[in-house]
Chains A and B, each alone.
Chain A
Amino acid sequence: MQLDFAAIKGDSRNYKILVGVLAAVVIAGLAAYGVAYMYGFRLWGVNNYVTWGQLITVDFFFIGLSAGSLVVSSLVYVFGQERYKPIGRIAVLMGLLLMISAMLTVLTDLGRPEKFWRLFMYFYLSNMKSMFGINGIFYAGYILLLGTYLVAALSGSKLTKFIAPVAVLWAMLVHMGTGAIVGFIETRHVMYSPLKPIEFISAAFASGLALVMLLSYLTLKFSKRPLDKDMFVSLGKFLVVLILVLMVLVAVDKLTHFYPPKREAVMFLISGPWAWIFWLQVVLGYFIPLAILCNPWLRKKVNWVIAACAICVVGIFFERAAIIFPGLSQPLEYYPGEIAGIWGARGGFLIMPAETLQTLGIVAVLGLVFVLGLKYMDLLPAPAAAEHAEGEASEQATPAAEGGQA
């Protein structure tokens, strides 16, 4: 199947408004970060208990989405499923952008961001026993690989055939390593689990596929490019499998930790003060998308499939939050008995403007580069032949696209 790709023209009013809004949010995020850098992280919601906050949640979320996007692209470039080709390039670009945004969140989450280079002094100044240190290799290699992959995919080079499998395997490494960051910490019983790396990769596949479906659908629709509805319906079937695997993994993980008498961590997660995060994860991430995608009527309707994708992406965001917030706020048992005062208190977390603006800013950076990428790179399948009406075809490029990423 021969498929031409073309950039959108991007001179419509809506496109300019979208770019302007995203740029404004980016600037607001930058300003918020500048203020937080000058005054310290006391302006953030993080504290000595819940010491990782929104940014690390978004970081795990983005790394997952990135790995998942890569897998979608692998359907095209590794497994040769030509019918998915229209969204192959978007998937690769999303993979790269999401990973770069994830690195931005990590960088700005550091207390002393100017020392970030120490993470990349492998074996010399970095501690290679730390999962962060090991992930430094994975992350840097991943971004390099993805850059090459994107260039190769854009130029339609044969090289993609070689890069794609490597990139997909590397993406698995990246995401399993990220899962290990929290999964290997015995102190935090909510996080501690040998299944965490596998669960992370599984969540990554599900959310990444859902996001690519959502974004590519919205982009194709609003740029009035040829839209193959059957492709989305068949990807929806694939998504069912991924969500089911993820659900089984999470259930097994929680049941394993629930079965023995030492089950405080699971009880804290499913019935503690943060339980709503976990239940949002389960309901939004698994139940509602499965209900839609397994329904014999709804699963054939592309609008419902896309809605299921959007709900699934939001649900997986709560999956990340359900690791960070309950995991860190569960009180540490220094000594048997009830510990008085703040030392035995559960950790709390405040939504602070500086941190939230910065998080939104990073999401907006992602959206902005994506929207500009649509204009300057040949990402989308060319409009159906016969007309060169790109002028109005590219009208209102994706006013909702950034809503999908948020």
Chain B
Amino acid sequence: MANWGMVIDLDKCVGCQACSLACKAENNVPHGTPYEHDRHHDMYWHKVIAAHEGEYPAVNTQIIPMPCMHCSSPPCVNVCPSKATFKRGDGIVVQNFRRCLGCRYCIVACPYGARNFNFKDQQDEEYQRPDLPPDLAAEVGGLKYGAEIGPWPYPHRTRGVVEKCTYCFHRIDEALLRIENGADIKIGVDVVPACVEACPTEARFFGDLDDPESTVSRLLASRTYIKLREDMLTNPKTIYLPR
């Protein structure tokens, strides 16, 4: 089974926020008002932070796009009392909105601020992906669904639950089904998460970390890389190539 990961080249990132916008559009994350922004009520599945070090004129600004880190040892999965957040077989940490109680313990536990409580409903009610749920019995691309079907149909959710980035797993799953049916596409090349697709400088790469031939594996082998907050030992699968 694949082990999906994302590599972000900070040398190429210009901080344009196209990734954040693409994420909002793709996943129908409600937009916020300035008031909600001030009160930290608005939602970002993907954010871009800017970290400064030093004083002008010797200031170093590091622009870091932050989706969910999809940790290999996710603290949020440990603390969730209702198994609403769980790690799929392919390593993606997803949130099942139907199981989520809204206790917000995972927000407390997440070291990356990747999780958001939705204080209001989605606004475009008609925007709901019409995708058919996958066959429960099927084993597609090594990913057995079974009980792990998760929040299908995606991404409709009610207010009062916690949301987060999913690496656009609906795209991946759809592609796996198409590959199963004989389509000649490759995940990580033809099918990528929305933020990767939208990046104008092609700073982001998506692929299978376990596959030595994938772009992400090659990049990680050729350059030094960092993971955020490594002291937490969460072992993120969103990996950065520093400037």
Contact = CB atoms under 8 A, between A and B. Distances in A.
B108 A336 contact: no
A188 B110 CA distance: 9
A115 B101 contact: yes
Contacts of B104: 46, 51-52, 111
Interface in A25-48: 40-42, 46-48
B30 to A, nearest CB: 11
B75 A187 contact: yes
A130 B47 CA distance: 27
A118 interface: yes
B62 A132 contact: no
A340 B49 contact: yes
B41 interface: yes
A41 B229 contact: no
The winner among B51, B81, B104, B107 for most chain A CB atoms within 10 A is B81
A332 B112 contact: yes
Contact of A333 (B40, B100, B229): B229
Interface string B5-21: 00000000000000000
Interface in A298-351: 328, 332-344, 347-348, 350
Nearest to A133: B81
Given A42-B41, A129-B78, A343-B47, A110 B102 contact: yes
Given A40-B160, A132-B81, A186 B232 contact: yes
Interface of B: 36-41, 43, 47, 49-53, 60, 62, 64, 66, 75, 77-83, 99-105, 107-113, 115-121, 158-162, 228-229, 232
B228 A334 contact: yes
Contacts of A115: 82, 99-101
B229 A185 contact: no
Given A51-B108, A185-B79, A339-B49, 5 more contacts: A42-B119, A52-B104, A112-B161, A126-B81, A348-B39
A77 to B, nearest CB: 33
B82 A125 contact: yes
Interface centre among B39, B50, B115, B121 (most CB of A within 10 A): B39
Given A40-B160, A334-B66, A335-B62, A116 B101 contact: yes
Contact of B81 (A42, A136, A328, A347): A136
Nearest to B115: A48
Contacts of B107: 48, 51
Contacts of A185: 75, 79, 108-109
A351 to B, nearest CB: 13
A341 B100 CA distance: 30
A181 B100 CA distance: 18
A171 B22 CA distance: 50
A115 to B, nearest CB: 5
Interface in A89-133: 106, 109-112, 115-116, 118-119, 125-127, 129-133
A320 to B, nearest CB: 15
Contact of A127 (B49, B81, B160): B81
A126 B81 CA distance: 6
Interface in A182-202: 182, 185-188
Contacts of A222: none
A138 B108 CA distance: 22
A49 interface: yes
Closest 10 CB pairs of A and B: A111-B102, A111-B160, A132-B81, A337-B51, A47-B40, A42-B119, A337-B53, A118-B82, A130-B81, A335-B51
A187 B66 CA distance: 17
Interface string A145-175: 0000000000000000000000000000000
A280 to B, nearest CB: 23
A354 to B, nearest CB: 12
A185 B104 CA distance: 13
Given A52-B108, A109-B103, A119-B81, A347 B51 contact: no
Contact of B52 (A110, A112, A337, A350): A337
Contacts of B105: 130, 132, 181
A136 B81 CA distance: 9
Contacts of A337: 51-53, 60, 62
A181 B108 CA distance: 10
